[in-house]
Amino acid sequence: MQFVRDRLNFLFRSTKGLILVAVAMIALETAVFGMLSGPMAEIGVRDVVVRALRMDLVQAEREGRIIILYHSIAMAVVAIESYMITGLLKMKEFYRAAVRVLVSIGYLMAMIFGMGFAYWGHNWAFHGLYIAGLTLIFFAGVLLTIGLWPWNKETYQPDKAYARTKKGVDMERVAFFATAATTLISAGFGAIPGSFFGNGFEAFLAENIIRYPEKTTMEYSVIGHLHIMLALIAIMITLIVGRWLNFKGILHKIAMPLIILGTIVLNLGVWGVVTPLEPVAHMIIYVGATPAMLGALMLVIFGWQKLIREGVAGIQKPSFLQKLAALVRDPLKFGPLWQMVFMNFTVSGIGILMAVRLDEIFRVWPAREERIELTGHWHVLSAIIATIILLYYGDMIGLKGKVRKLYGWAIIILSDIAFASVTLFEMKRLFITEATQQPLVNTVMLLMDFGLGMLLVILAMVMAWRLADLFKKNGRWTEELGQDDLSAEVR
Amino acid sequence: MKRLIGPLLAVVLLLSACSPVDLNSALPIHETGVDPQAWAVVPAGEFLSGQHNDPVTIEYDYEIMVTDVTVTQYASFLNTALADGTLHIDGDQVVGYYPGDEFHGAKHEIEITAADYAYVPLDDPAARITFDSTAFAVRPGYETHPMTNVSWFGAWGYCGYYGYRLPSELEWEKAARGSADDRPFPWGEEILRNNANFYASRDPFEDMGSFGSRTSPVGFYNGRSYGGYATLDSASPYGLYDMAGNVWQWTGDVYEGQHYRYLRGGSKDTYEMDLRVWVRNNATPTYFSPGVGFRCARGP
């Protein structure tokens, strides 16, 4: 009994255990439900999975199922970010514990009961528990926001190397606070229409109504919600990576106000879509997104400079190649920043191109082509966030030597192959006709599946290792049990 | 040498993306027995529309073609209409007059003025008709396949020429779904590979290793076996064929504030989710594709 109690204590009461459980849950869900669409459906795997797991898939409920699937994965990601924030930042113990308890119960309920409701018939008790799970996560967010309150002298930043006000208010904490607070408000933009459309279950996917010239306020709200929530998860992971890499100095002082300003303006723009400001909402969003992305750029510059500086320490006049070698020496530290840069080619750049040439190019194509671009766009952004989390997690669990390099480079290379392929697939109509596209489609689909499939295999190997480790008396888990404070690992 | 294997494989893989597609590769010829000249009557009354089954009443009987317009039918139209001056050749395309739409200046709306518009391109490699400066002909093998590479104007022009019209979205949907229940597909609740021609449905006309999906002759999925390939009878409750898959079908509605025209039914190039009767696609009226065709309606 003590054996089980110790393991459960690690998995559900320690920072790294909680993150491990959430990563494992996402991996499991992605592996199972990833077999229901795309090429897996084409080759017949979906039918086998549906029969083997006795799923009940009603055609008219596909959109609703997908919405629950996205949400259940997103909630686990929100939980991981919450564990990281509560592990990295100073916070009263009450808030740290309450946030973790609520968010853990919340995402597990949302995932288990939500998926049970969506894919295995409609047990309405499950639906209620799914909603209850989402509600708990919201309350966890409220407590997290309170816990992050930056105008508390105990959390003031004494070190002038970091962005701070004259009085000492920690600007980075303000950025965390602003992101958490606006996330709560933006959650409402999904919850309110969710309740509205849920009454009668008229679920829809935003990408399917994008061309309708007249949209209701509730429809605008849903579109705004999905955009801003993903953007806020991305901003939060940027801040987390910044703390992990001990972001400081002049770039930190420039970046934090930019991120705070960008986050607030970005939110105002998105909230504006349900107000008479709708016609100019996109402009406000661009105005907000630009400083937020510049802030992330500062982090990338800082991080890469730091990696180079540390890597060439001891070399008097390092050459360019030596600097480059230093930069890429540790894929787990280089990777998250690289993924942020790569995102510009596969997400932001595509988004900007679509925005500026929408009517001239993209809206000349059928709506279905535009839908492919839209879904590809945010799937890649979500997956990039996931890879950044996995890279940080690899560092967190103490991967060393060749395993560290293999794990890190595999995540970077495999995911980037997949993301680049998705981007080519999205944009194929720019350079190939429908009649002649099949060889290109086959190749990019193969690369996409290879990249993502192998990534899942690597994740499965790590999870298998962690599972086996739990059976050891003095396994890695016993060390991690005492490493609750992630800020102690920041160098 | 071992180090070279990975990069070499990568190069081969990338080159495979650029391999040419033979659009003239041999096409299986099958007689379906379904008459493309046939019409079905859809009686007045209520049906369940859309994904969420909203009751909608169409208060008149109307007729709709049992199959998509075939390449043979369209080539015949082109020849007749070219001869009588309804259509003419402008560069690499056949053009015809369209009287234009009311313009509302809505966001993203593009004005469709009264002018000549392209019906079909003549220089597209995927074209199913040929033109020898005097007459149009069907590319051999495609006689009973749906006419594709036809713009909304070309579909509108064909139907109007014979005194028909394109069906409205609601008319199309009722014809596909019937009025008895809320079925997602014209034939019922579930879709199997031999119900319809959709992406990777493994029908005799596709080769996913080279040219990908191709259309099937109209009415192909009627329960017959073709050289060992058994189809399921997938007619709609009113006896229409190919209301799911094969080609997207232009519908006739012109909505206020938008220039887009709506397409229904999914196609050989889409997954089965797009074959559900309520799924809408849209494109500019000048758009044409190897996966887009149409059928006409008439009455009341």
What residues of chain A lie within 8 A of the CB of B189, using their CB? Answer: 59
Please answer yes or no on whether B108 and A437 come within 8 Å at the CB atom. no
Evaluated on CA atoms A26, A28, A30, A36, the torsion sign reads negative
Among A246, A239, A308, which Cα is nearest to A490's?
Answer: A246
Strand order in the sheet with B62-65: B39-42, B62-65, B297-298
Evaluated on CA atoms A423, A373, A134, A26, the torsion sign reads negative
What's the rounded Cα separation, in Å, for the pair A43 and A58? 21
Q: Which residue has the higher pLDDT, B23 or B286?
A: B286
CA distance B198 to chain A (A): 11
* Side-chain half-sphere CA neighbours of A101 within 13 A: 7
Residue of B22, B51, B104 to mutate when probing chain A, most A C-beta within 10 A: B51
Cβ proximity of B199 and A437 under 8 Å: no
pLDDT at A282: 85
Beta bridge partners of A469: none
Q: Which residue has the higher pLDDT, A355 or B145?
A: B145
What's the rounded Cα separation, in Å, for the pair A229 and B239? 47
Q: Residue B107's pLDDT band (boundaries 50, 70, 90)?
A: confident
**DSSP codes, B157-189:** HHHHHTT-BPPPHHHHHHHHH-SS---SBTTBS
Residue in chain A closest to B201 (alpha carbons) equals A42
Structure tokens at B163: 């005194």
Burial class (CB in 10 A: 0-12, 13-18, 19+), A81: buried
pLDDT at B57: 97
pLDDT at B118: 97
What residues of chain B lie within 8 A of the CB of A214, using their CB? Answer: 257
Residue of A356, A372, A438, A446 to mutate when probing chain B, most B C-beta within 10 A: A438
pLDDT at B1: 65
**DSSP codes, B9-27:** HHHHHHHHTT----TT---
Q: Is A128 helix (H, G, I), strand (E, B) or coil?
A: helix
* Phi-psi map region of B149: left, alpha, beta (phi>0 left; psi -120 to 50 alpha): left
Number of separate helices (H) and strands (E) present in chain B? 4, 16
Q: What size, in residues, is chain B?
A: 300
Q: Residue A228's pLDDT band (boundaries 50, 70, 90)?
A: very high
Cβ proximity of A357 and A430 under 8 Å: no
Q: Which residue has the higher pLDDT, A358 or B279?
A: B279
Q: How many CB atoms lie within 10 A of CB B171?
A: 22
CA distance A140 to chain B (A): 35
Between the two ends of chain A, the Cα-to-Cα distance in Å is: 38
As a whole number, mean pLDDT of residues A177-195 equals: 93
pLDDT at A352: 84
Poorest-confidence range of A41-45, A400-404, B26-30? A41-45
Evaluated on CA atoms A82, A84, A90, A91, the torsion sign reads positive
Q: Residue A202's pLDDT band (boundaries 50, 70, 90)?
A: confident
Has residue A362 got a pLDDT over 90?
no
Q: Which of A63, A201, A434 sits opposite B269 (nearest CB)?
A: A434
Percent of chain B past pLDDT 90, that is, above it, reads: 86
Q: How many CB atoms lie within 10 A of CB A49?
A: 17
3-state percent helix, strand, coil for chain B, nearest multiple of 5: 20, 25, 60
Structure tokens at B195: 């119900």
CA distance B83 to chain A (A): 30
Among B13, B12, B16, B23, which Cα is nearest to B207's?
Answer: B23
pLDDT at B258: 93
As a whole number, mean pLDDT of residues A279-303 equals: 93
Write the single-letter amino acid at A152. Answer: N
pLDDT at A351: 84
pLDDT at A464: 96
Helical spans, DSSP H, in chain B: 2-16, 71-83, 152-161, 169-177
What's the rounded Cα separation, in Å, for the pair B204 and B198? 12
What's the rounded Cα separation, in Å, for the pair B112 and A464? 61
Please answer yes or no on whether B290 and A363 come within 8 Å at the CB atom. no
Cβ proximity of B293 and B268 under 8 Å: no
What residues of chain A lie within 8 A of the CB of B185, using their CB? Answer: 59
Cβ proximity of B170 and B278 under 8 Å: no
CA-to-CA dists, residue A54 to A46, A320, B272, B294, angstroms: 12, 58, 20, 39
What residues of chain B lie within 8 A of the CB of A365, using their CB? Answer: 283, 287
Q: Which helix (H) or strand (E) holds A394?
A: helix A367-396
Please answer yes or no on whether B271 and A200 come within 8 Å at the CB atom. no
Mean pLDDT computed over every residue of chain A: 93
What residues of chain A lie within 8 A of the CB of B211, using their CB? Answer: 435, 438
CB pairs under 8 A between A and B: 107
Place of tokens 């509605």: B253
Has residue A201 got a pLDDT over 70?
no
Q: Is A363 helix (H, G, I), strand (E, B) or coil?
A: coil
pLDDT at A122: 85
The 10s digit of each residue's pLDDT in B227-238 is: 999 999 999 999
Residues whose CB is less than 8 angstroms from the CB of residue A475 and which lie 6 or more positions away in sequence, other chains included: A469
Cβ proximity of B177 and B237 under 8 Å: yes
Total domains, chain B: 1
Please answer yes or no on whether B281 and A368 come within 8 Å at the CB atom. yes
Would you say residue B108 lies in a domain? yes
Q: pTM of the entire structure?
A: 0.93
Place of tokens 């990281």: A84
Structure tokens at A83: 């564990």
Has residue A421 got a pLDDT over 70?
yes
Poorest-confidence range of A359-363, A458-462, B18-22, B201-205? B18-22
What's the rounded Cα separation, in Å, for the pair B118 and A403? 61
Q: Which residues of A306-345 are buried (b: 16+ CB within 10 A; e: fewer)?
A: bbbeebbeeeeebeeeebeebbbebbbbbbbbbbbebbee
pLDDT at A213: 84
**Looking at beta carbons, which pairs linking B136-143 to residues 24 or more positions away fall under 8 Å?**
B136/B75, B136/B78, B136/B79, B136/B82, B137/B75, B138/B71, B138/B72, B138/B75, B139/B71, B141/B26, B141/B27, B141/B29, B142/B27, B142/B71, B143/B70, B143/B71, B143/B72
Would you say residue B21 lies in a domain? no
Q: What is the CA radius of gyration of chain A?
A: 22
Has residue A360 got a pLDDT over 70?
yes
pLDDT at A200: 61
Would you call B89 an interface residue with chain A, using a CB distance cutoff of 8 Å? no
Q: Which of A204, A213, A365 sits opposite B258 (nearest CB)?
A: A213
**What CATH number is given to the structural domain containing B57?**
3.90.1580.10
Q: Which residue has the higher pLDDT, B90 or A196?
A: B90
Would you say residue B17 lies in a domain? no
Percent of chain A past pLDDT 90, that is, above it, reads: 79
Would you say residue B215 lies in a domain? yes
What's the rounded Cα separation, in Å, for the pair B255 and A97? 55
Cβ proximity of A264 and A244 under 8 Å: no
Would you say residue B30 lies in a domain? no
Cβ proximity of A473 and A3 under 8 Å: no
Write the single-letter amino acid at B280. Answer: R
Would you say residue B14 lies in a domain? no
Burial class (CB in 10 A: 0-12, 13-18, 19+), B226: middle
Q: Is B70 helix (H, G, I), strand (E, B) or coil?
A: strand
Please answer yes or no on whether A443 and B17 come within 8 Å at the CB atom. yes
Among A183, A71, A203, which Cα is nearest to A131's?
Answer: A71
Q: Which helix (H) or strand (E) holds A70?
A: helix A62-88
Q: Residue A197's pLDDT band (boundaries 50, 70, 90)?
A: confident
Would you call B33 an interface residue with chain A, using a CB distance cutoff of 8 Å? no
Residue of A46, A57, A357, A434 to mutate when probing chain B, most B C-beta within 10 A: A434
Would you say residue B204 lies in a domain? yes
Q: Is A390 helix (H, G, I), strand (E, B) or coil?
A: helix
Among B residues 210-229, those touching chain A with beta carbons less than 8 Å apart: 210-212
Cβ proximity of B234 and B222 under 8 Å: yes
What residues of chain B lie within 8 A of the CB of A56, using their CB? Answer: none
Has residue B239 got a pLDDT over 90?
yes
As a whole number, mean pLDDT of residues B181-192 equals: 96
What's the rounded Cα separation, in Å, for the pair A166 and A157? 10
Residue B249 carries which DSSP code? E
Would you say residue B19 lies in a domain? no
Q: Residue B20's pLDDT band (boundaries 50, 70, 90)?
A: confident
What's the rounded Cα separation, in Å, for the pair B153 and B261? 10
Among B198, B182, B167, which Cα is nearest to B39's?
Answer: B167
Mean pLDDT computed over every residue of chain B: 94
Question: What ipTM score was computed for the predicted complex, to two decimals?
Answer: 0.90
Q: Residue A198's pLDDT band (boundaries 50, 70, 90)?
A: low
Please answer yes or no on whether B125 and A435 come within 8 Å at the CB atom. yes
CA distance A248 to chain B (A): 40
Has residue B176 got a pLDDT over 70?
yes
Q: Is cis: bond before B167, omega within 30 of 0?
A: no
As a whole number, mean pLDDT of residues B22-34 equals: 89
Has residue B16 got a pLDDT over 80?
no
Between the two ends of chain B, the Cα-to-Cα distance in Å is: 75
Place of tokens 């999205």: A426
Q: Is A132 helix (H, G, I), strand (E, B) or coil?
A: helix
Residue in chain A closest to B106 (alpha carbons) equals A213
Poorest-confidence range of A235-249, A294-308, B3-17, B79-93? B3-17
Among A395, A80, A411, which Cα is nearest to A245's?
Answer: A395
Q: What's the domain range around B249?
A: 40-298
Among A residues 146-205, those touching chain B with beta carbons less than 8 Å apart: 200-202, 204
Q: Is A107 helix (H, G, I), strand (E, B) or coil?
A: helix
